[in-house]
Structure 1
């Protein structure tokens, strides 16, 4: 689909929306909380989400499940990409992940208003909670004093189903979905059952809900890559004055993940004024997969032949290694190479066998008390998040190969190893070390909060809000990375000569279309690496058992936070329908931490070994976070907003690790030594946020809105070097510091419209669309990114969709597109163009088309077919210059079918 045409279609739909007549019934107030609505259809869900946006005191966009266990997308992160201002990425397992709001990833995630996180991180891995458990999602883009602090970008609140969401009596619902991946060529599934009941109990009523789900996702994601551009004047002879890739290769991530989940909730309305509730959640994430590498070390060969230069030529300072150098290095006149043959090359394969596990436990409860003038909620919660990752890596190689390379073959590299030697299991030798990357984390938090609202009979002040919150969080992290080299000469021992089982070398589970014409290769057996690690360690001359944790990477953290807020809601009536209202408040947050780590003095022990010294630090900080907002409702359909809020995001525990790794001091205190580590003195990142909106609501379910935003961030965490004196010696310490600053501004347009005025049959049609312009700039003086856009942020992205709901048919087709962006910074060494201070891995624009078509077989049974990424959108990146591609990553297409039953 042409993205320009799609954007025109979306803009046309919004223009129609703005021109459509409003209906008189819109003057009536609409519900403020979509979760108080029993949502049973696609249009009803969009209408409920619209009402949240319309009646909120803040800038909020929402998603409401159109039925039990049915978000409008296959995952939470996938659903979020439909919201204006939210950008996402496709992960290694072909699932949408890593949402950012308006260019920033520092997001506070809550579950039913309670902070939730993964491991020792500040953020939440959305893949850890299956979409089947979610009843709705609110994305807060502006802030107020009553929201938990911790998200510079905003707050994402996920909501589980509760028994009082349903009518009295017994409700039973079940859903199941199977889907097939075009690339993985495997079928995956998800399924769940929800049982809820409400019944009278004395003067009140009770409700109990249990929801269980389980899913298995099989995946394969092929990637083909060129390595860093390099001057061939500094490599094997035969390609004078050309720039060619240092290496070429590819990977496939192949395996599966599973998600078990169960949540339960109990609600008891003792009287109309008093309710108590208890709820809990367990959700798990299990992943077992292998990253299978195929690789050619081109510049380690002995000659280059058949080299062909392209027309993209430039001059640059080049250092002795063949990379972009300094102004004192010689200038070379170079052209980007188009193709070449590399001879005498080592060709390698590698298996990275991986197991990942996350367990999340949430338990909470509280009391709600409502009278005509007072509304109080006390909530207590406990969360524990345990995470572990295990990676075992073995590399093997073959010598003296010949590799034909096309640098740019329609946006990607193409590699052919003559004779396809890696497709034969014989002749491999061991290369490099047995690498073990192991880590585990455990974090828990107790939290207690009291929120109160008092209605005030005043001409201006209508509500007074106040609240307090206390949280106590502890986290621990343990890690080690590395391993022993293979004994004997480097790359000199045959795999077949050391007594390993015959199936140690196995055919790769998947292939890569752009490498060796899509043939499979042989690589170490991932199951053997994971299940027989001790045998491998013995082979490499290491003792049995996992290596000891690295003390300098280990840390323990304890963090206690007290927060209190006051906030007033005002309203000024301007005639029968017009009014001005808003919020003014402030939240004050005090945090105390104890951080324990270990410093290492390299070679500082009496026997010449490393000296390890425990380190403990106590820190504290206090922040005041004011906010103010105003809404002008000109008519029941038209309103305008303006918001200001100061927000904060705390440093990660990993950055706060007080441990340092220091060079051993010598006899001369005037010599500057080297060191690196964390920084317990980091401050929170702060942002001043400004938002303005214009919103027009019409019909039963339609609206159009436009929003502008501006963010000014300071104290962002970035790596920096400083001179410090420790025990009388001068050290040049590299550690994270509050040196970053940036600015963001942008415009968001969103709308949806249902064409009720069309003739019978066509009046079930609807359209929706969003468009975002995000203009960001790094303003940190001296930073390599100064003046550049924030990494990972597209300047433009949009969503355009068509909807239909009538005669039991529910259909939706949605196209999502984002423009190109700078993903990572390579630094000055990459040689893809003239002298420059920085070179980026740039990602090309990309779009995805999804659809679903459902039919109500009976009032209680719905069947649906759907497709994800049916246009086969792919990830393409390049080294600052499109003529020198970096990666192509093949995003899978999925086609599925589901059934939902509800009684």
Structure 2
């Protein structure tokens, strides 16, 4: 552990020691009429109480106060619960320093549904591939600040009254409402800063809350606002598309037949990514009770993330020479991989390619909801909700230059297995003077839109005698639309002449020092302003124009429309020492899918542009199903609870898996595409859990679960003809295509929480998930997407009336992400260490210091045990906040 972590650890334990001393001087419990537990202890107690009283399998996180979840990020908070995993990316953009996706019980994030106050929220991403080619059903947590959250409920077992869509479970983020505040006027503000050590930047963080309710406690207004800025810098070695195999028809096979079928790196990159993230928005809620039996609520939420970014990737271009040229004698092949090779330079041949990509990017979400809660009489309650939500992710401008480099300089590499970066080098002139123009394919708009209108009507009929305590029944209708658009772009002119001689910058002097390996680090790049100016001034922007000379990229466009009607009935039972529910949910879904197919015959083409000729295609799917569920809870004694649950749940395929047109990358002739004939994933679930509440705020639980998933989504690779921008004709690409394949997961969850005295506490949990699929991947495995076999969390805290400290460590074992090019790729084991300190000198002020990624983890990705894919370092982050309350 390095010096910086040691300093923070010393600070934590100093606060613990000082706080313990201060606690000795506090009045004892016998001196007080009542003891109110707040802060960390209060939130833990409330969470356990909610979990214990629930009839179904439920995990709960309660915020200590506004903006004070157990972690700075909502997803980071949830990863500390048993059975919950997080990831920082939705496509293949690689690992970042902030959790962005949540998944449950060893499955992919798309099988976990995220709601806010029980309703869906339109979502979109800032990364361009997640806007068009890789669009799941998961929600981006980057748009959801912790200040929004009152509590979070993770439903692990299904109930008929829960909205369908979460095969493995549902996360429900619960916000505050005006009339729940105790005082007539409440105001809170947070002023702080975040320090990103690798980006060497300190940026502001602001949030505020104002709440008013009248003396009659029947009208209230809540307003929250936030503005948060953060710089990040990610340093990496990337191998885009993974390794490829030398074919029998490649020229080198004639001279070196021993290399046929051997895996070779297509691209080996020194990658520098920098981004400015600015998140701003707010929540407005108005609550009115015109009579005691009727409550009305109107809420509106908006969050926007500005995420402009600059990615530089200087890459040895193995696929440009390894198929043509034999390596020097002395090369080695181990386990089917060309592990060590040196190539002599051939005049005029580029041995490196340099991509510089500056993108303007945004992601935003908003919703408006109206709720009515009417207690019709003593035995009948009705709830109505209607709302609309929209998410949008947009990359309106891309400024991309691709240069050929290391001309005639030769190349070499040495691999060290999946756990270490590849040592590589290229010869020749690596400076701007040694580069030649390779081209540009950017400055093309990509926009994703996600929107839904919905209405729900729910009733609860209560009974005063017998085991049947109530019956819940209701209806829901939703009209959802997800669309990818790319109607505008720019045709490039003489960009290269303008770029030459423009302003340049240098990679950081300590670039990628945290990930190891020997590869080019002393690299130059054109500044973002130089790149943007050269492309803007030497390109012709074309708006929505079609035809052979247009920039309307039909191949990047698709639309999925879904109409969802559901009805349910659920009976709730209560006995002397048991309770539970049983129910049925009927779901009827109609899908309309619009996409495009690349064609070479003008007679078959409906539209055309510079991106080729395309035929419009339309598909329609209908899915109707009854989903049963049952939950039963046994109170074996005052402290021991046994739960058993069984259900069937369903999740529709990812939007891009259904609708995306086939697309390809010219660098390695791989790509992806959709399959409109995919069926929903249907899971049959069994769950049992034993919970021992052995003391206040104390819990030991052990549980097991099994999910048998029919029509799980996997990926196969097929050859397809796609339009190449390099050759202006159809070429053969290896395209990753989603398919249905059954799968299953069996797992065990263990959780432990215990206070130690009045002020200390520890917690730990462990999840084992054994998943497999009927699909055989290219590497011969039968893995499920997203399944980590082992996940564990350990933590400890101290808190008194003045001081608080918390430290936690989370670790997740390796898991399959998807395909990179035509190859399966995985994320390796990783763990994160975080800690927080708090000091409350008065009742109206508190100071907090949160440290994230304190162990500075390197996120490692690999294709196999012998073939790495990428290594990412993001650095540590420190959040200092001053909170004020009135």
TM-score scaled by length of structure 2: 0.81
Name the residue aligned to 1:444.
Answer: 451
* 1:779-798 superposed matches below 5 A: 779-780=774-775, 784=778, 788-798=782-792
Residue 705 of structure 1: how far off its partner (Å): 1.1
Q: Distance in 2 between matches of 1:631 and 1:713?
A: 25
Equivalent residue in structure 2 for 1:623, among 622, 625, 628:
625
Q: Distance in 2 between matches of 1:342 and 1:483?
A: 39
* 1:314-713 superposed matches below 5 A: 314=335, 337=339, 340=342, 343-344=345-346, 346-370=351-375, 371-389=377-395, 390-398=397-405, 399-403=407-411, 405-408=413-416, 411-415=419-423, 417=425, 421-422=429-430, 424-479=431-486, 495=496, 498-500=497-499, 502-503=501-502, 505-508=504-507, 511-513=511-513, 514=516, 519-530=521-532, 533-537=535-539, 548-573=551-576, 579-605=577-603, 612-657=614-659, 678-713=674-709
| CA shift digits 1:111-132 (9 cap, x unpaired) | 1111113148532111122222
| CA shift digits 1:443-476 (9 cap, x unpaired) | 3222111111121123211111111111222343
CA contact (8 A) 2:312 2:525 kept: yes
Cα distance change, pair 180–517 in 1 and its aligned pair in 2 (3 A): farther
| CA shift digits 1:525-553 (9 cap, x unpaired) | 3334445544343699xx99995333344
Name the residue aligned to 2:152.
Answer: 137
Q: Look up the SS of the partner of 2:76 in the other structure.
A: helix
Residue 189 of structure 1: how far off its partner (Å): 3.3
Pick which of 363-372 and 699-708 moved more. 363-372
Q: Does 1:56 align with 2:54?
A: yes
CA contact (8 A) 2:331 2:340 kept: yes
CA contact (8 A) 1:679 1:735 kept: no
Structure 2: which 5+ residue stretches go unaligned? 3-35, 90-94, 125-134, 664-670, 720-732
Cα distance change, pair 840–307 in 1 and its aligned pair in 2 (3 A): farther
Name the residue aligned to 2:742.
Answer: 741
Pick which of 869-878 and 648-657 moved more. 648-657
Q: Does 1:268 align with 2:288?
A: yes
Cα distance change, pair 472–198 in 1 and its aligned pair in 2 (3 A): same
Name the residue aligned to 1:767.
Answer: 762
CA contact (8 A) 2:264 2:318 kept: no
Q: Distance in 1 between matches of 2:673 and 2:830?
A: 38
Q: Distance in 1 between matches of 2:39 and 2:48?
A: 14
CA contact (8 A) 1:615 1:658 kept: no
Q: Look up the SS of the partner of 2:441 in the other structure.
A: strand
Q: Distance in 2 between matches of 1:236 and 1:695?
A: 67
| CA shift digits 1:601-638 (9 cap, x unpaired) | 42233999876554444443321111111111111211
Residue 769 of structure 1: how far off its partner (Å): 0.9
Q: Look up the SS of the partner of 1:114 in the other structure.
A: coil
Q: Distance in 1 between matches of 2:426 and 2:618?
A: 58
Cα distance change, pair 849–397 in 1 and its aligned pair in 2 (3 A): same
Q: Distance in 1 between matches of 2:441 and 2:820?
A: 27
Q: Distance in 1 between matches of 2:316 and 2:662?
A: 37
Residue 270 of structure 1: how far off its partner (Å): 2.7
* 1:67-82 superposed matches below 5 A: 67-82=65-80
| CA shift digits 1:809-866 (9 cap, x unpaired) | 1100001111223344569x8xxxxxxxxx7534432211110111112111111222
CA contact (8 A) 1:292 1:508 kept: no
Q: Distance in 1 between matches of 2:636 and 2:691?
A: 10
Pick which of 130-139 and 852-861 moved more. 130-139
Cα distance change, pair 410–451 in 1 and its aligned pair in 2 (3 A): closer
Q: Distance in 1 between matches of 2:523 and 2:71?
A: 36
Cα distance change, pair 93–565 in 1 and its aligned pair in 2 (3 A): same
Residue 153 of structure 1: how far off its partner (Å): 1.8
Cα distance change, pair 597–341 in 1 and its aligned pair in 2 (3 A): closer
Q: Distance in 2 between matches of 1:734 and 1:870?
A: 39
Cα distance change, pair 845–651 in 1 and its aligned pair in 2 (3 A): closer
Residue 407 of structure 1: how far off its partner (Å): 2.1
Equivalent residue in structure 2 for 1:815, among 786, 805, 809:
809
Pick which of 688-697 and 409-418 moved more. 409-418
Q: Distance in 2 between matches of 1:401 and 1:136?
A: 59
CA contact (8 A) 1:338 1:408 kept: no
Q: Look up the SS of the partner of 2:485 in the other structure.
A: strand
Name the residue aligned to 1:327.
Answer: none
| CA shift digits 1:20-49 (9 cap, x unpaired) | xxxxxxxxxxxxxxxxxx994011111111
Q: Look up the SS of the partner of 1:143 in the other structure.
A: coil
Name the residue aligned to 1:33.
Answer: none
Q: Look up the SS of the partner of 1:74 in the other structure.
A: coil
Cα distance change, pair 660–880 in 1 and its aligned pair in 2 (3 A): closer
CA contact (8 A) 1:412 1:886 kept: no
CA contact (8 A) 1:375 1:452 kept: yes
Q: Does 1:714 align with 2:710?
A: yes
Cα distance change, pair 306–852 in 1 and its aligned pair in 2 (3 A): farther
Pick which of 599-608 and 364-373 moved more. 599-608
Equivalent residue in structure 1 for 2:188, among 158, 173, 180:
173
CA contact (8 A) 1:294 1:349 kept: yes
Structure 1: which 5+ residue stretches go unaligned? 3-37, 317-334, 488-492, 574-578, 662-674, 724-731, 757-762, 830-838
| CA shift digits 1:778-820 (9 cap, x unpaired) | 024x665876221332100100001111141110000111122
CA contact (8 A) 2:692 2:701 kept: yes
Q: Distance in 1 between matches of 2:541 and 2:385?
A: 55
Name the residue aligned to 1:89.
Answer: 87
Name the residue aligned to 1:889.
Answer: 872
CA contact (8 A) 1:436 1:480 kept: no
Cα distance change, pair 523–69 in 1 and its aligned pair in 2 (3 A): same
Q: Distance in 2 between matches of 1:409 and 1:595?
A: 43
Q: Distance in 2 between matches of 1:814 and 1:676?
A: 39
Residue 93 of structure 1: how far off its partner (Å): 4.0
Q: Distance in 1 between matches of 2:563 and 2:244?
A: 49
Q: Look up the SS of the partner of 1:605 in the other structure.
A: helix
* 1:84-123 superposed matches below 5 A: 84-91=82-89, 92-104=95-107, 105=109, 106-119=111-124, 122-123=137-138
Residue 719 of structure 1: how far off its partner (Å): 5.4
Name the residue aligned to 1:252.
Answer: 272
Name the residue aligned to 2:6.
Answer: none
Name the residue aligned to 1:329.
Answer: none
RMSD: 3.8
Q: Look up the SS of the partner of 1:45 in the other structure.
A: helix
Q: Look up the SS of the partner of 1:412 in the other structure.
A: coil
